[in-house]
Structure 1
Amino acid sequence: MSERKPYPSDLSDARWALIEPTLTAWRQARLDRRPTGQPASVELREVFNAILYVNRTGIAWKYLPHDFPPHGTVYAYYAAWRDEGIFAQLNYDLAGLARVKEGRKAEPTACIIDTQSVKTSTNVPLTSQGVDAGKKIVGRKRGIVTDTLGIILAATVTAASLSDNAIGMRLLDQVKTTYPTISKTWVDTGFKNAAIEHGARLGIDVEVVSRNTETRGFHVVKRRWVVERSLGWLMLHRRLSRDYENLPTSSQAMIHIAAINNLTKRITDETTPTWRGTY
């Protein structure tokens, strides 16, 4: 790793050790397909640190500090890893390790599904946006699946106008393909009969968990609080505070990157330095 002053978003040696084998294997596969076979000079760890910096701080790519590799190079790696499913693969591998660390089996049997509508920035194409009439938000809608520990198992991003039912069916397909062991999921009342029936066809029992109408104001809802907490964790990454991405697939990749960031810390028992307690 090159010598420079570290940023709070940088990977520690222990966290890099969890990611490095996948990225090194990816690079070797690309080298094997190149006529010259000459390795690139850029350090993969520095590229990933730069991606984490963008994800955590919310800056535009061209505003990357100059002690990182050039922003064009970093984006080229990011786009390749996005399109080739490397971020999703890392999310999957690390989720299994985090579950085992918590004394669970690597493959979950139950999950929770929820959606979140977010506003978009001015650069996002109108064709990929929509209006969530219920929440009165113009933008995109994120759908995520977590296990009972709050670990993200699957994610998708659509126009905000798409119904929770349609997103739920998409997520059920995705999570059942990735985790065939899933047989139970909990959802909120936005998911209707179509999602429940689709889950039944996949062998997944979809249970709707309603709020207690007799309790006024905020209160913890059984099972659903886990996925809502995970959505809150995502919002700590400023690139996800609203949707800045031109492509929905980029938005989905940013969710996976935030999950990778959290999972590596969870596995290595590390935390992100904050201003609290420093005065």
Structure 2
Amino acid sequence: MTIQPSRKPYPSDLSDARWALIEPVLSAWRVERQRTSLNLGGKVTDLREVMNAILFVNRTGIPWRYLPHDFPPHTTVFSHFSAWTADGTIERLGLRLHRLVREKEGRDAEPTACVIDAQSVKTATSVPTGTQGIDAGKKIVGRKRSIVTDTLGLLLLVMVTAAASVSDNDAGKQLLTRLAESHPTVTKAWVDTGYKTQAVEHGARLGIDVDVVPRNTQVKGFSIVPRRWVVERTFGWIMMHRRLARDYETKPEHSESMIRLAMISNLAKRATGENTITWHNP
């Protein structure tokens, strides 16, 4: 059993209760890793501290090499983040917590309806030009985040692409295909007007009723759009994590993991009934 170090904790650190939810997934990863490696011994990295360091980066937005020295070396932390992204560990962890929270809310573990939307964000200068593009409508050079949430606003799927390289219609079709494979109980999806006939027809072929919900053009300024407000709130949740205020990741799949980690932090707190600690009121 991993023992929490005696260092002074950071606001983003996992509590014992939240670590208890995450530990089985990471411990299973370590067992599998040791089984398939030479296992030559050496220092064993504290997985709780690695996850604390990753969540610190996610919450504060600092570069990896700026990690405080009381965490494991930034190269070790990043190598774990990369490995957990590549083998789906972060995605599996998010889905595990998603089911726990739904059951706590009195819902079935698997949803039957979802909401799909996209967000364009600027990229950092370090992001390869081949993985970014121009969103002409919003005049943003960057990437597009397409997400699927359940009706509670909890993340189901995420896809990051170069802005303008994949239309909302095409992204919607890809997400609907993945949704039908990973969450076959979903039979209803709400989308905005960017998802047109092709996405609606593709959903129908998959057994998913795609309903386009337009914004009320009679209302000036901000207005709450039925059903779609749920996914807008989810974007608000993840944008509280400063690493996601701009896309800093070299690889789009790392961007997807950062989004999942923001939701994992949210889900772990909801599953344990803990409140979010803010920087202004620790």
Same fold (TM over 0.5): yes
**Count of equivalent residues:** 278
Q: 1:20 aligns with which of 14, 20, 23?
A: 23
Where structure 2 has 5 or more consecutive residues not aligned to the other structure, the ranges are none
In 1, Cα distance between equivalents of 2:250 and 2:151: 32
In the other structure, the counterpart of 2:252 is 248
Tell me which residue corresponds to 1:263.
Answer: 267
Measure the CA separation in 1 of the matches of 2:236 and 2:230: 10
Structure 1 range deviating more: 238-247 or 170-179: 170-179
For the residues of structure 1 that align with 2:54 and 2:270, how far apart are their CA atoms? 19
**Residue in 2 aligned with 1:198?**
202
Q: Among the aligned pairs, what percent are the same residue?
A: 60
Deviations 1:34-91 (CA, angstroms, capped at 9, x unpaired): 2236375210000000000000000000000000000000011110000000111011
TM-score by length of 2: 0.96
Residue pair 1:31, 1:39 contacting (<8 A) in 2 also: no
TM-score (norm 1): 0.97
Cross-structure match for 1:157 = 160
Q: In the aligned structure 2, how far is the partner of 1:252 from the partner of 1:116?
A: 13
Indicate if the aligned counterparts of 2:123 and 2:142 stay in contact, CA closer than 8 A: yes
1:84-163 mapped onto 2 (5 Å cutoff): 84-161=87-164, 162-163=166-167
Question: Pairwise CA RMSD of aligned residues?
Answer: 1.2
Query: Do the aligned partners of 2:11 and 2:279 also contact (CA within 8 Å) in 1?
Result: no
CA contact (8 A) 1:9 1:272 kept: no
Amino acid at match of 1:177: E
Shift of 1:274: 2.0
Mapped contact 1:144–1:153 kept (Cα < 8 A): yes
Query: CA distance change for structure 1 residues 96 and 37 in 2, over 3 Å: closer, same or farther?
Result: farther
Aligned to 1:7: 10
* Residue 31 (str. 1) matches residue 27 (str. 2): no
Q: How far did 1:134 drift?
A: 1.2
Unaligned runs of 5+ in 1: none
Moved over 4 A (4+): 275-278
Larger mean Cα displacement after TM superposition, 78-87 or 268-277: 268-277
Kindly state the Cα deviation for residue 179 of structure 1 after the two structures are TM-superposed: 0.6
